[in-house]
Amino acid sequence: MSAFIRLPIRSIERSLLDWLDAHATALDEGQAEPTDVLPRLADAGLFKLGVPIAHGGVGGTSLDAVAAIATIAEHSLTAAFVFWGHRTFIEYLLESPNASLRERWLAPLLAGKHAGATGLSNAMKYLGGIEPLQMGAHRAPDGWILEGQLPWVTNLRKEGFIVAAAVDHADRSSPSIFAIPHDAQGVARSADLDLIALRSSNTAAISVEETWLSSDWEIDPDALSFLSRVRPAFLAMQCALSIGLARRSLSESLLAAETLGAEIDALDHRLQKAVHLLSEGLSSGLFRSRPAPLFEIRIELAAIACAAVNLEIQTSGGRGYLRDAGGASRRGDVARRWREAAFIPVVTPSLTQLKSQLAKHAGSNAA
């Protein structure tokens, strides 16, 4: 099988990858402490990838973050999902015109001392005309009063978080993007959602009731423009989940393959092509003006990840159906990746939502 195409990436500490391999199933099943993940990723310097040196990062581009998330996903999709949510919030601050918000929050986020959560899944669906915004705001003395809820947000660490949300304004034609801190009055976090997998990802719901925030917490006053700017990084980093999962399953399949070598090579070729298109489109800025190709890549990568896991199941045979196959350090790996693959099509925007947007786009072009 040909070598995997890999996005540009700096080295990741072997000790972190070993820890992820040893704890991946426990993280997936919710038996590992979720508070461990964020500090370990931060201590490895991963949140600084693609962040300008002037802002405390190590430079590079968002492709470096995509590559790092993909590598983490090869070892644990739970950790990669946390990584995606946190690093996406960092991207929001980098794209924000609010310099004071960035100066206050970027350093603790890069250090993993505070959790950043992307609550913009609803907003991305709003941008695609799929659903209305679930958060509203009205003017108050020296600021705004926010009301609403976000039913599914990842990386809401109980120790402290800050979450991004798109907010509709009663007296404005355009909604805006706010950063909402966990300790603002009226902000409440639910218990962790009862997920089938990725249970140690601090995924919960947020409710906001009569919460006052000053304009200092506004990430961008123009949500539509902001969402169009950050959507390429949002989805590309999300694509990294599929890339990492597919790579790991194909690698495992290759080790055990006897008669499926041609199928593994064909799927690997599809993966290489999709990764190349993702890299080219993100580097050139194509996806800002033409999101449809990015939607197609996200759909293709999800299909590849699911097919790769199915190949791994076939090549592992009955051994893969044993919980202790491969010893305690790899207990349940095949079953875990099967559960992880089931999550890929439904993470917002889901494949159904993306296909709906592509159909609308095709209809508009035809008209």
Give the model confidence (pLDDT) of 328-353 as tens digits.
435 468 999 999 999 999 888 888 88
- Rounded to two decimals, the pTM is 0.93
Residues 240 and 63 sit within 8 Å (Cβ to Cβ): no
- Once rounded to an integer, what is the mean pLDDT over residues 238-265? 89
Residues of the chain with CATH 1.20.140.10: 226-366
The reported pLDDT for the residue numbered 275 is 95
Q: Does domain 14-114 have CATH number 3.30.230.10?
A: no
Residue 210 in this model has a pLDDT that exceeds 80: yes
Residues of the chain with CATH 1.10.540.10: 14-114
Residues of the chain with CATH 2.40.110.10: 118-223
Residue 183 in this model has a pLDDT that exceeds 50: yes
Q: Which residues contact 357 (CB under 8 A, 6 or more apart)?
A: 128, 129, 130, 292, 295, 349
CATH number of 118-223: 2.40.110.10
The reported pLDDT for the residue numbered 320 is 57
d(CA 75, CA 366): 43
Residue 238 in this model has a pLDDT that exceeds 60: yes
- Once rounded to an integer, what is the mean pLDDT over residues 62-82? 95
The reported pLDDT for the residue numbered 359 is 86
For the stretch 190-200, pLDDT in tens is: 999 999 999 99
CATH (one of 1.20.140.10, 3.40.50.300, 1.20.1090.10, 1.10.3720.10) for 226-366: 1.20.140.10
| % the chain with pLDDT above 90 | 74
Residue 5 in this model has a pLDDT that exceeds 50: no
The reported pLDDT for the residue numbered 332 is 65
Mean pLDDT of the residues in the chain: 90
